Structure 1
Amino acid sequence: MFTLGRKSLVSLAAALLLALTNSVAAEVQTDQKRGPVTNLPLPRYVSLKASKANVRRGPSRTHRIDWVFTRKSMPLQITAEYGHWRRVRDIEGAGGWVHYSLLSGVRTVIVQKDMLPLAIRPEAETQATAHLELGVIAKLEECNPDWCRLKAGGYKGWVQKSDLWGVSAEEIRD
């Protein structure tokens, strides 16, 4: 029969407690980065599917409407989920709760620099196919660590990721 001394028993208990604490901490950290409804990452970007979307104070139709989003395809950042509702924020930081049926997984971005060159290749010194005005909404196609390929107004090309809102700095898309 195997026996443990008091010192060994205390060490074993401490090790088990530490392992349990680390496991719970890892679970909590994972839960904080995933939506409780969809299990998708939080925060994450989506776009507005509708040309009109009520933004409410809380996650139900009984909550007051604070304002209305009226720009179809506008990128939004989802920061929380509750049932069929998503808490979103826009480029200006304004936000509230929107019904999930008004949102789309199609990714768009807003240009944050006036007359941004849409480059042929993801390189600083390359020819531009067009220039995008400040505030233009473009469809996001792919991204490498520094550049994203966009489609806007019938033009396609690359822009520096830092000049866009609607894509995270570390995001890579194929």
Structure 2
Amino acid sequence: MVLNSAVPAGAMPIKPVAATVWNKGRETGLPIPRYVSLRAQKARMRVGPSTIYATKWIYMKPGLPLEIIDEYGHWRQVRDDTGVTGWMHSALLSGVRTAVIAPWLTKNAMLRADANPAARAIVELQPRVLVSLQSCTGTWCRVSVREHSARGYVRQDKLWGAYPGEMFQ
């Protein structure tokens, strides 16, 4: 079985960089950068940190991973997997971790039964398929694919939504 996801026209994916924390958010004290996900059914990315700024992009898929790169009041400057940056109100975001299968891949990623490259393959996942992250070891992430009730492990370097070497439960 192959799972796929639509890709916006002209979207250019970006690879995650090492999770070096250069600073802490001036509002929350949490690490910058960090990954979050989209909470809202419909969320406007704006060109500046206020509703007076124009809408740059409208997101319509709850759970999409975003990377917070700055904070200002209740606003978060975010970047998506295509490299688009803008501002979103913090109420539109969630700390629930999600990821997309690496948009830069030219081949599908394997969802495996165990965190081992020789483990049984459960399903092939095409680039940009949305997954929920349960945990990451720094090399493998335990994930689930909601639409197909599939659970297993994906190599961490095949995901946008977890930094290389990042570990969490």
For Structure 1 versus Structure 2, the TM-score category normalised by the shorter chain is 0.7 to 0.9
The aligned residue for residue 151 of structure 2 is 156
2:23 aligns with 33
Counterpart residue identity of residue 49, structure 1: R
Map 1:38-57 to 2 at 5 A. Answer: 38-57=28-47
* Bigger CA radius of gyration: 1
- Does 1:173 find its partner at 2:163? no
Which structure is richer in relative contact order (CA contacts within 8 A, separation 6 or more)? 2
Matched residue SS, 2:157: helix
Q: What is the percent sequence identity of the aligned residues?
A: 39
RMSD: 1.3
Report the counterpart of residue 6 of structure 2 in structure 1. none
CA-to-partner distance for each residue in 1:114-158, whole Å, 9 max, x for gaps? 432111111111101222122110000111121111000211101
Aligned length: 144
Structure 1 or 2: larger strand share? 2
Q: CA deviation at 1:52?
A: 1.1
The one of 53, 62, 69 aligned to 2:59: 69
What is the Cα deviation at residue 33 of structure 1? 1.3
Using the size of structure 2 for normalisation, the TM-score is: 0.81
In structure 1, the gaps of 5 or more residues are 1-29
* Unmatched segments (≥5 aa) in structure 2: 1-20
Counterpart of 2:90 (choices 100, 103, 124) is 100
Per the alignment, residue 121 of structure 1 pairs with 114
Moved over 6 A (4+): none
